[in-house]
Amino acid sequence: MAFSLNVNGRSYAIDVDADTPLLWVLRDVIGLTGTKFGCGVAQCGACTIHLDGQAVRSCVTTIESAGTSPITTIEAIGDTPTGHRVQQAWLEQEVVQCGYCQSGQIMSATALLNENPAPEDEDIDAVMAGNICRCGTYPRIRAAIKSAAAGVPAGKGG
Amino acid sequence: MGILARAGDLRLSRRSFVVSALFAGGSLIIAPRLIGTAQAAEAAELNAFIRIPPAGPIELVIASVEMGQGVYMGLSTLLAEELEVGLDQIVAVPAPANPALYSHPVLRDQITGGSVSIRGFWEPMRKAGATGRLMLVAAAADRWGVPAASCRAESGEVIHAASGRRLAYGELAQKAAGMPVPQDVPLKPASAFRLIGKPARRIDTPAKVDGTARFGLDARPPGVAFAAISICPTFGGTLGSVDDAEALKVRGVRKVVRLSDAVAVVADHTGAARKGLAALRIDWDRGANASLTTQELERRADAAMAGDALVAVNEGDVEAATGGPVVEAVYRMPILPHTTMEPMNCTVHVRPDSCDVWVGTQVAGRARQTAAEVTGLPVEKVIVHNHLLGGGFGRRLDHDGVTMAVRVAQQVEGPVQVVWSREEDVRHDSYRYLNLSRIDIRLGPDGMPVALRHRVVGPAIMARFLPIFFKDGVDFDIIDAAESPYRIPNKRVEFARHEAPEGMLTGNWRGVGPTRNAPAIEGGIDEAAHLAGIDPVEYRRRLLSGNPRLLAALELAAGKAGWGGDLGPRRGRGVALMAAFGSFAATIAHVHVGPDGALKVERIVCAVDCGQAVNPEVLHQQVESGIVYGLSAALYGRLTIEQGAVVESNFDDQPVLRINECPEIEVHVIESGEAPGGIGELGTPGVAPALMNAIFAVTGKRLRALPIDTAELSGS
Ligand code: FES
Ligand code: FES
């Protein structure tokens, strides 16, 4: 079946089965490989994208359910003010190690800050617990979210 | 004694590399020859580490792969320091797969692992940089007709201060290549370092926050197809029959590939491939391991413990020490997966006369070799395009995934990306196999140990992986740190080799041997301290005369953690030390145990001495990372075997630490001018024993098995 997808402000005609997860459409059909595969069952958050501004796990979100709602991926999140601030905070706090989980972390953190501009630790836990990082960058993710929330570059992480 | 020291004859001698230079492809190329063997190479194939083109950034070729450990940053820093260029003037490019040219100086293969990248390349990289700089300066001096000593190099230029003349390296590249290659170039003293040890932003990270970084799974050669794979779940089993009628009906599915031990569905995209795979009806021939269970594997390991062993370390005479109380305990370590964040994957294009492989691997040379072996092509006809690694942790030190992908690709027209599901990744890992340690510590009249015996039961990974670390039946890795860092007059380490069943791949896991041995040694010493009625930190302190660096780490950690201060009810601290990888660490865990046994790890303090830090921020990152990795394993890591197959499959049944469970982590670094030690694995070994010792401090319950079983703590 043919679907019309709206990704990062562009529209794409996609001809796949209705139950195809958006993850593979983005990565393999459209070629936007910034969104990552980690588990396939909504356990790790590596595949997080924004659908209509909400963070969703693209590995379990079918193309059919997406309809024509706008999709934003890591490739374009830097064009939004919050996304840009989060990326900068990530670099300032030296969050990133292997980097594989970080697309999803940044998408989740951006959605969190859009929703709640000044999150407490518990708010960060509640939202970010869905994103696994095997390199163990959690303490720096927490610091970076706080510094992005403050909107000013904080001191270095530790 | 560390693993490298044990293989002492392999240590890099000052004379074991020479530097050469040439002008090729329009660039000045500086190439240290790293291992004495290669009759070094055709000019075109020199193991270039520095390429200086006439214009544009200088290319630094990085022989180690980037898997998060910051090695692009680390090795670039070493080269740039002596070459006198800024980190903003260079680009780091991965070395091609060619072990003859890019082998690690100590491991003697093109391998990134064991926390030895900086240690191995510490001198060669700086020498290459210094050689390049001296030749560029000589070239400029020659052109200007002034003495070289009147010129200096700075930020990618040679400057003649007296006349104010300056020339960029690029403009000098061709002339420099014709200058004599200086030998025995002097290196900067640490006091003159401008980049090494100074804070600097990592160079690999901007592309990792905007989605442009390319991992193995992001390889997209034109026309690539996607394959989902199912490998016989029972180790060593084979494919029986496959009914693919439904799979072939799935839109986008192109083909079903049958291998002797696996089946793959090739499709237009991974979604269709996975759907097709799920629609297959597969019968497996489970083979010899069909009835294997965890209980049976544990029984076999127990039998090995009771059997024969080789003496690997023998100091003093443990038999002669008699009398006094004895600590005797067996510590049990489970089977562990790696669960790198990026599941296994490999993209391959097999043609009649050549083969391309796109993958993120810690062993590019072996990846090339296996592709050549499977296809029957000469090794020169295989090109490995190495990518960023979405985590390594030892998993990508094995090339089984490359072998499998090439076998699939042989039956596919054009390039194909073979993607392991997380379930396949967990069920076909190169596992850390289970091991046992029996510890036997005899105390003297003052309560201090007079004899330590440690029997290690586990596999000899080095026998297949790096045979230079396997001698006379003893695996140097699995006994690494098994004798403890403590001053005890009589010590014996015994190794009872015990392998996993045929068909189950076992391999290296973050922290390698020291992570296996730390629970038994640090748990055992804690038990001894308790028996002697001496505070665990004080007890270790008394055993560290002669080990000032480890003692200093202990004192720093104890001070920062407030050791001895009261934490209130149901809270306590535990300590563990580690001397390994050329570095030293003291870890103190601070836990809360609820009356129902619920465990909360509240804080981890880790003090480290890693010698000269190349990048202080990366050092902090790596220790934090090692701690979190160790925590996941200590709390949750365990695979169960039934029917000869792994039962667990994904993060729901094999959990890992999440941000809401992550304790406060503090890393304190002791400044040091000693040679750099490893940092990537250092944080991991101490975590489990520090936790177990903290739990004992709170509950009086001595845990001797991993992962931590909180059910045992309820009511304590
Ligand atoms: S891949 Fe979607 S949550 Fe893990
Ligand atoms: S940075 Fe490697 S998994 Fe998060």
Q: Where are the domains of chain A?
A: 2-76, 78-150
Q: Examine the domain organization and report whether B60 and B185 are in the same domain.
A: yes
CA–CA distance, B638 with B652 (Å, rounded to integer)? 13
Ligand 2 atom closest to the Cα of residue A99 is 1
Tokens of B418: 């073979």
Higher pLDDT, B93 or B263: B263
Question: What is A78-150's CATH topology?
Answer: DNA polymerase; domain 1 (1.10.150)
Same domain for B464 and B559, yes or no, is: yes
Residue A148 has pLDDT above 80, yes or no: yes
- Do B279 and B300 reside in the same domain of the chain? no
Residue A136 Cα, ligand 2 centroid: separation in angstroms?
7
Residue B443's pLDDT is 97
For residue B36, give the CATH number of its domain: 3.30.365.10
**CA B269 to CA B276: how far, in whole Å?**
11
- Tokens representing A19 are 């139950």
Q: What is the pLDDT of residues A91-132, one digit of tens each?
A: 999 999 999 999 999 999 999 999 999 999 999 999 999 999
The residue among B706, B518, B691, B686 whose CA lies nearest residue B606 is: B686
Cα of first residue to Cα of last residue in chain A, in angstroms, is 51
Ligand nearest to the CA of A138: 2
Chain B hits for A96, CB-CB cut-off 8 Å, are 68, 202, 204-205, 208-209
Q: Is residue B9 part of a domain?
A: no
The mean per-residue pLDDT over the stretch A25-41 comes to: 98
pLDDT tens-place string over residues B544-553: 999 999 999 9
Identify whether the C-beta of residue B713 lies closer than 8 Å to the C-beta of residue B641: no
Enumerate the β-bridge partners of residue B254. none
Residue B705 is given by DSSP the state: B
- Select from B419, B449, B469 the last residue of a domain: B419
Residue B682's pLDDT is 93
Is the separation of the CB atoms in B648 and A43 below 8 Å? Answer: no
Look at residue B32 in the predicted model and tell me its pLDDT: 67
Nearest Cα to Cα of residue B485 among B455, B518, B460: B518
Instruction: For ligand 1, say whether the CB of A11 is within 6 Å of any of its atoms.
Output: no
Give A84: exposed, middle or buried? Use CB within 10 Å, 0-12, 13-18, 19+.
middle
Residue B7 belongs to a domain: no
Per-residue pLDDT, B249: 98
Mean pLDDT score of chain A = 94
Q: How many residues does chain A have?
A: 158
Kindly state whether residues B331 and B448 are assigned to the same domain.
yes
DSSP code, position A117: S
How many angstroms separate the CA atoms of B113 and B96, rounded? 17
pLDDT at B5: 55
- Quickly state the pLDDT bin for B17 (edges 50, 70, 90): low
Pocket test for ligand 2, best of A74, A97, A103, A106 (most atoms within 8 A of CB): A97
Residue carrying structure tokens 């009759």: B39
pLDDT band for position B35 (cuts 50, 70, 90): very low
**Beta carbons of A31 and B199 less than 8 Å apart:** no
Residue percentage of chain B with pLDDT more than 70 = 94
Whether B14 has a pLDDT exceeding 80, the answer reads: no
Asked if residue B2 is part of any domain, the answer here is: no
Give the HSE-up count for residue B669: Cα atoms under 13 Å, Cβ half-sphere. Answer: 24
The CATH T-level fold of domain A2-76 is Ubiquitin-like (UB roll) (3.10.20)
Residue range B454-477: mean pLDDT, rounded: 94
Q: Which of A61, A56, A60, A70 is nearest to A4 (CA)?
A: A70
Summarised one tens digit per residue, pLDDT across range B359-415 is 999 999 999 999 999 999 999 999 999 899 999 999 999 999 999 999 999 999 999
Judge residue B440's burial from the number of C-beta atoms within 10 Å of its C-beta, 0-12 exposed, 13-18 middle, 19 or more buried.
middle
Above 50 in pLDDT, residue B9? no
- Provide, rounded to the nearest whole percent, the portion of chain B with pLDDT above 90: 75
Distance (Å) from CA B581 to ligand 2 centroid:
23
Closest CA–CA distance from residue A96 to any residue of chain B (Å): 6
pLDDT, average across residues B122-140: 90
Other C-beta atoms lying within 10 Å of the C-beta of residue A146: 17
Whether A89 lines ligand 1, by a CB cut-off of 6 Å, is: no
pLDDT class of B39 with cuts at 50, 70, 90: very low
For residues B615 and B471, state if they share a domain: yes
What residue type is assigned to position B611 of the chain?
Answer: G
The pLDDT assigned to B10 comes to: 39
CA–CA gap between residue B146 and residue B133 (Å, rounded): 17
Strand ranges (E), B594-682: 599-609, 641-642, 645-646, 664-669
Question: What is the pLDDT averaged over residues B195-217?
Answer: 91
pLDDT at B37: 36
Query: Using CB atoms, which residue from B390, B626, B658 is nearest to A98?
Result: B390
Q: Which residues of A129-143 are buried (b: 16+ CB within 10 A; e: fewer)?
A: bbbbbbbbbbbbbbb
Cα(A152)–Cα(A9) distance, rounded to whole angstroms?
29
DSSP secondary structure letters along B114-155: TT-HHHHHHHHHHHHHHHHHHHHHHHHHHHHTS-GGGEEEET
Predicted pLDDT at B3: 57
d(CA B292, CA B436): 19
Residues 6+ apart with CB under 8 A from B513: B3, B475, B476, B477, B478, B479, B480, B481, B482, B580
ipTM over 0.85: yes
What is the rounded CA–CA span in Å between residue B31 and residue B44?
Answer: 11
Average pLDDT over residues B303-328: 94
Alpha-carbon distance A42 to A19, whole Å? 16
Residue B253's domain comprises 216-287+344-419
Model pLDDT for residues B481-506, shown as the tens digit of each residue: 999 999 999 999 999 999 999 999 99
Distance CA A141, CA A130 (A): 13
Q: What is the pLDDT of residues A49-80, one digit of tens each?
A: 999 999 999 999 999 999 999 999 999 999 99
Q: Does one domain contain both B478 and B495?
A: yes
Residue in chain A nearest B426 by alpha carbon: A39
pLDDT at residue B611 is higher than 50? yes
pLDDT at B40 over 50: no
Contacts of A38 in chain B (CB under 8 A): 341-343, 422
Here the tokens at position B294 are 């965890």
d(C-alpha B519, C-alpha B534), whole Å: 20
Nearest to B342 by CA among B374, B387, B299: B387
Q: Do B377 and B488 have their domain in common?
A: no
Is residue B425 domain-resident?
A: no
Give the model's pLDDT for residue B4: 55
Q: Testing the interface with A: which of B72, B218, B341, B427 to mutate, by most A Cβ within 10 A?
A: B341
Among B142, B177, B207, where does a domain finish? Answer: B207
| Domain assignment present for B351 | yes
The pair of structure tokens assigned to B449 is 């140990």
Q: Among residues B419, B447, B479, which one ends one of the domains?
A: B419
Other Cβ atoms less than 10 A from the Cβ of A1: the count is 11
Please state the domain count of chain B.
Answer: 3
pTM across the whole model: 0.92
Average pLDDT in the B184-192 region?
Answer: 90
d(CA B6, CA A146): 47
CB contact under 8 A, B628 and A98: no
pLDDT, average across residues B96-111 = 78
Atom of ligand 2 nearest to the CA of B341: 3
Residue B182 has what DSSP assignment?
P
Nearest by CB to A87, from B210, B214, B659: name it. Answer: B210
Nearest chain A Cα distance for residue B493, angstroms: 33
**B432-465 confidence digits (pLDDT tens):** 999 999 999 999 999 999 999 999 999 999 999 9
Same domain, B61 and B198: yes
Considering the domain architecture, whether residues B631 and B689 belong to the same structural domain is answered as yes
pLDDT of residue B2: 57
- Phi/psi of residue B429, each to 5°? -100, 175
CA B342 to centroid of ligand 1, rounded, Å: 11
The secondary structure of residue B43, as a DSSP letter, is G
Q: Is B313 found in the same domain as B348?
A: no
Q: Which of B341, B660, B666 sits opposite A100 (nearest CB)?
A: B341
Q: Which residue of B has its CA nearest to A45?
A: B341
**B-chain residues near A140 (CB < 8 A):** 621, 624
Residue A16 pLDDT exceeds 90: yes
Of A27, A98, A158, Cβ closest to residue B341: A98
What residues are paired with B29 via a beta bridge?
B22, B51
Question: Average pLDDT in the B156-183 region?
Answer: 91
Per-residue pLDDT averaged across B657-685, rounded?
94
How many Å apart are CA B458 and CA B480, to the nearest integer? Answer: 13
Rounded to an integer, what distance in angstroms lies between the CA atom of residue B49 and that of residue B120?
A: 14
Min CA distance, B267 vs chain A (Å)? 11
Q: Is A71 on the interface with B (CB under 8 A)?
A: no
B58 occurs within a structural domain: yes
Six token digits for residue B403? 């072998």
Where residue B18 falls among pLDDT bands split at 50, 70, 90?
low
Asked whether residue B6 is domain-assigned, the answer is: no
Asked whether A97 lines ligand 2 (CB < 6 A), one says yes
Cα–Cα distance measured from residue B604 to residue B259, given in angstroms and rounded to the nearest whole number: 47
Residue B1 lies in a domain: no
